[in-house]
Amino acid sequence: MKRVVTRNRDYLVIGVTTAQAQTPTPGFNNQIPEQILTPSTVQTRIGTLNFVDGVPTTETTRLVYDHLDFLRGVEVFLNFIPAASLEAIRLGNASLGAESSHQAIIFDQLLDSNPLLLTGNTDTVYCLATLDLQADGPTVAEVPGAST
């Protein structure tokens, strides 16, 4: 270690040399740290993934693509839960006689555990209606102010 003082500033220069050469990793020109190499096998929850020189085997590729297809299916299912809920509300309203967009269903009591609403609260009065913009065109829904 050598200390150099220049223009009232201190600089610390450290030189490190290695006396021995490292043995290159087979198939490479230099030594590659083991922790960054792709292992031959990886245990996962979808099975064992096999690699040859860092490249997935045909079976591993198929397994991963099958899993991605499954995950995309789950994602579509989860993304369409709100749409399915709205359709269920529309069908429920129709079964109770509210088949047109000028008709609504008003719950005159607070909910209990019996209605099959997706996220129904037991401390909320509900009014459910569906709009048909294709049949009625632009629609304005007015809610009267609170009575005092």
Dump pLDDT digits (tens) for 23-36: 887 777 888 888 88
Over range 32-41, report the average pLDDT.
Answer: 85
Percent of the chain at pLDDT above 70?
A: 84
Per-residue burial over 22-46, b if 16 or more Cβ lie within 10 Å, else e, is eeeeeeeeeeeeeeeeeeeeeeeee
Nearest to 59 by CA among 37, 36, 41: 41
Task: Of 26-40, 53-67, 73-87, give the lowest mean pLDDT range.
Answer: 26-40
pLDDT band at 80 (very low <50, low <70, confident <90, very high): very high
E strands present in 2-138:
2-6, 9-13, 41-44, 47-52, 55-56, 104-106, 127-129
Helices (H), the chain: 58-79, 81-95, 133-136
Average pLDDT of the chain, as a whole number: 82
8: number of CA atoms within 13 Å, CB side?
0
Residue-level pLDDT at 13: 47
Q: How far apart are the first and last CA of the chain?
A: 84
pTM of the model: 0.55
Question: What pLDDT score does 21 carry?
Answer: 60
Residue 77 is predicted with a pLDDT of: 96
